[in-house]
Amino acid sequence: MKPVGAIYVANNRCRFTVWAPEKKSMMLHIVQPADRIIPMQAESFGYFSVDVDDIPPGTRYFFRPADQPDTPDPASNYQPEGVHGPSAVVDHGAYTWQDDGWRGIPFNDLVLYELHVGTFTSEGTFDAIIPRLDDLLDTGINAIEIMPVNQFPGDRNWGYDGVYPYAVQASYGGPDGLKRLVDACHARGMAVLLDVVYNHLGPEGNYFNRFGPYFTSQYCTPWGDALNFDGDWSDGVREFFAGNALYWLETYHLDGLRFDAIHTVFDSGAVPFWELVNREVRQLEQKLGRTLHMTAESDLNSPRVIRPADVGGFGFSAQWLDDFHHALYVLIDENGRERYEDFGRMEQLTKAYTDGFVHSGEYVSFRKRRYGASSAGIPGDRFIAFNQNHDQVGNRVKGERLSVLVDFDRLKLAAAALLLSPYVPLLFMGEEYGDDAPFYYFVSHSEEELIRAVQEGRKEEFKRFQWDVEPPDPQAEETFRDSKLQWHKRTEGKYARLLNWNKTLIQLRRTHPALQTVSKNTVQAYPVGQAGFVLVRRPEDGQQQLIGLFNLSDDALVYSMPPADEGWHKILDSTEEPWQAEPVPNPVTLPGSVRTGETVSLPPRSVVVFEGRIE
């Protein structure tokens, strides 16, 4: 991969490189500390480069393509004056890393935590996250997944409107702020993954077309023309984004990346872009000597995403499992069927446990066609499961979290269903204690026409859901402020009890042999009518099994216990007093031990976990 942007060498010497294959000339305009205009030399494959002395870190500069005005560097590492301002030279070697001994965490051991830097704390910065890491670690969370941080317009945005893929958002703390956060995580034994967006660039400050054919009209995405990964001059685009993945992992010591909506990246070439990226990252992994995780959001329901390249796959470590969310959500919130019309049967949830994809070739009404392929037999650690994420919450008109949509008992059910699954779990920030602040969609654009387009677009998007309220104004600062977490609640009343429930489940997941295996051969799940289901997890030796009995209904559910050598010993019961939203004197709970064949009656909206040994 050819390095692009401003590469600071040493002693105030810097090499500037930009890709502009159809331009006859390129000028470098140094704005500060002293105004200079320097011609750049044309190189092969459409690149222009120049080595310049007297360039201290922090130097502001523009590129000036032939017949175009001063323009920020597409590969800018820092935009301290925003998306329209000059780019700044960064000396990445000036930061002293403290994580020399860090080698990463195996993927199947991760408990992921998705967070948005701007709303995770009142300050909305990288540095403000650091004091909260010990709270997350105490809960059992050992990996944070940060929503996109590449430079976006203004100082508030989800991050998916970013326009400088190599630049760290200035209002969050810039390059050094992100490095300090990663260092702090590694010091605590926590991994850090970053969400990156290679399917589109945001509209404001997007000057890429001034340089070259970054986009193509051959394909259309929800955001307009697609990025050009397989047309004329696409080699430069492929290198730009593949190099970006390497840049984040190497320069910022990140442990992995999450790629947004990979199904909207179109490439019909012999070596698809995703295969190229994963191949390059695997080589980097060998160079660095630490584990790197490549995860994808995909709407394809195709095992190809997580299969190795040598058998025709893209080579990702894992992908998000939306089907698990959909199948569970509609069973704990009856209103969920309005959003997910093709879900609602208990057999679909049990299939999500045993197979992965629920839609694996069946006709799907929402898509009006057959959809998906089977993922049966694919190990559990190739999937990331969740009960909510930024999309599931933020794309509701009121921004409601699951804690607002369902009662406390169902929150406990959802947590157990996720954390006892064979998949790598992901929690959305605040989910561990049931934060009930909304998480809205918000922006801070400066162009009036664009602001109106975003406001009207959100209203139009929600029309098909027939909501009875107007969506909040995404441009209003209040919309952003209302989306901030309420950290003080995690130690109060029902919030503290839910936090302890999640903490207990994570500890069980981490310590019980039956929950350590990712093989699908050790997972069984079957419905009990349409009221509940049974989840069986066993270790590779098949002996010390766990059985989870889930009652999702409002009535008691009778179940007959299967064979076990010495019967079944209860290890977790959601109806016991410590797990109630409010203290309950003398709660009705199941006995601590149950014999083989004995009938148990599960109270409504409850989950009980038993342990039993089978030779």
* pLDDT 10s digits, 187-238: 999 999 999 999 999 999 999 999 999 999 999 898 889 999 999 999 999 9
Q: Is 262 annotated as a binding residue?
A: yes
**Domain limit, last residue, from 480, 505, 530:** 505
CATH of the domain at 536: 2.60.40.1180
Q: Are residues 372 and 452 in the same domain?
A: yes
Within 10 A of 218 (CB to CB), how many other CB atoms are there? 12
pLDDT at 177: 98
Q: Are residues 501 and 609 in the same domain?
A: no
Sign of the Cα torsion 4, 192, 295, 367 reads: negative
The rounded distance, in Å, linking the Cα atoms of 304 and 301 is 9
Q: Is 393 annotated as a binding residue?
A: yes
pLDDT at 1: 83
Q: Is 100 annotated as a binding residue?
A: no
pLDDT at 462: 76
- Residue that has been written with the tokens 């060998």 in this structure: 286
Q: Are residues 174 and 301 in the same domain?
A: yes
Is 267 labeled as catalytic in the residue annotation?
Answer: no
The token pair at 91 is 């000396």
Q: Are residues 400 and 450 in the same domain?
A: yes
Asked if residue 458 has pLDDT above 80, the reply is yes
* pLDDT 10s digits, 269-325: 999 999 999 999 999 999 999 999 999 999 999 999 999 988 989 999 999 999 999
Asked if residue 475 has pLDDT above 90, the reply is yes
For residue 125, which amino acid is it?
T
* pLDDT 10s digits, 497-539: 999 999 999 999 999 999 999 999 999 999 999 999 999 999 9
* pLDDT 10s digits, 320-372: 999 999 999 999 998 888 889 999 999 999 999 999 999 999 999 999 999 99
Domain membership flag for residue 514: no
10 Å CB burial of residue 460 (0-12, 13-18, 19+) is exposed
C-alpha distances (whole Å) from 219 to each of 202, 204, 231, 297 are 17, 21, 10, 19
**DSSP states along 39-59:** E-EE-GGGEEEEEESS--TT-
pLDDT at 298: 97
Q: Are residues 568 and 488 in the same domain?
A: no
The rounded distance, in Å, linking the Cα atoms of 339 and 347 is 19
C-alpha distances (whole Å) from 365 to each of 333, 336, 359 are 20, 16, 11
**Domain limit, last residue, from 505, 536, 558:** 505
Residues 484 and 496 sit within 8 Å (Cβ to Cβ): no
Q: Is 394 annotated as a binding residue?
A: yes
Report percent pLDDT > 70 for the chain: 99
Q: Are residues 282 and 321 in the same domain?
A: yes
The rounded distance, in Å, linking the Cα atoms of 424 and 501 is 18
Q: Is 392 annotated as a binding residue?
A: yes
Out of 239, 275, 297, 342, the active site residue is 297
Domain membership flag for residue 302: yes
Domain membership flag for residue 100: no
**Domain limit, last residue, from 505, 533, 553:** 505
CATH of the domain at 23: 2.60.40.10
Q: Is 299 annotated as a binding residue?
A: no
Residues 114 and 387 sit within 8 Å (Cβ to Cβ): no
Q: Is 486 annotated as a binding residue?
A: no
Domain membership flag for residue 604: yes
Helix and strand numbers, DSSP H then E, in the chain: 14, 30
Out of 183, 260, 275, 431, the active site residue is 260
Average pLDDT score over the chain: 95
The rounded distance, in Å, linking the Cα atoms of 434 and 416 is 14
Domain membership flag for residue 511: no
pLDDT at 543: 81
Q: Are residues 38 and 129 in the same domain?
A: no
Within 10 A of 489 (CB to CB), how many other CB atoms are there? 18
Domain membership flag for residue 102: no
- Residue that has been written with the tokens 């017949």 in this structure: 67
The rounded distance, in Å, linking the Cα atoms of 188 and 133 is 8
**DSSP states along 199-237:** S---STT--GGGTS--EEEEEEETTEEEE-SSSTTHHHH
The angle subtended at Cα 430 by Cα 427 and Cα 434, nearest 5°, is 100
Asked if residue 615 has pLDDT above 70, the reply is no
Is 260 labeled as catalytic in the residue annotation?
Answer: yes
Q: Which residues pair with 573 in a beta bridge?
A: 608
* pLDDT 10s digits, 87-135: 999 999 999 999 999 999 999 999 999 999 999 999 999 999 999 999 9
CA count, 13 A, side-chain hemisphere, 463: 6
* pLDDT 10s digits, 163-201: 999 999 999 999 999 999 999 999 999 999 999 999 999
Within 10 A of 24 (CB to CB), how many other CB atoms are there? 9
Domain membership flag for residue 101: no
Q: Report which of 378, 381, 397, 371 is spatially closest to residue 317, judged by C-alpha positions.
A: 381
pTM of the model: 0.97
Please give the residue range of the domain that contains residue 40: 5-94
The token pair at 166 is 């190599």
Q: Are residues 223 and 127 in the same domain?
A: yes
Q: Could you check whether the bond before residue 69 is cis, i.e. omega within 30 degrees of 0? A: no
Task: Indicate the DSSP class of residue 171.
Answer: G
Q: How many domains does the chain have?
A: 3
The rounded distance, in Å, linking the Cα atoms of 273 and 241 is 9
pLDDT at 565: 85
The rounded distance, in Å, linking the Cα atoms of 398 and 441 is 10
SS3 state at 347: helix
Domain membership flag for residue 123: yes
Q: Is 391 annotated as a binding residue?
A: yes
pLDDT at 470: 84
Q: Are residues 486 and 548 in the same domain?
A: no
Residue ranges with strand state E in 418-466: 424-428
Q: Are residues 482 and 361 in the same domain?
A: yes
Asked if residue 465 has pLDDT above 70, the reply is no
pLDDT at 466: 65
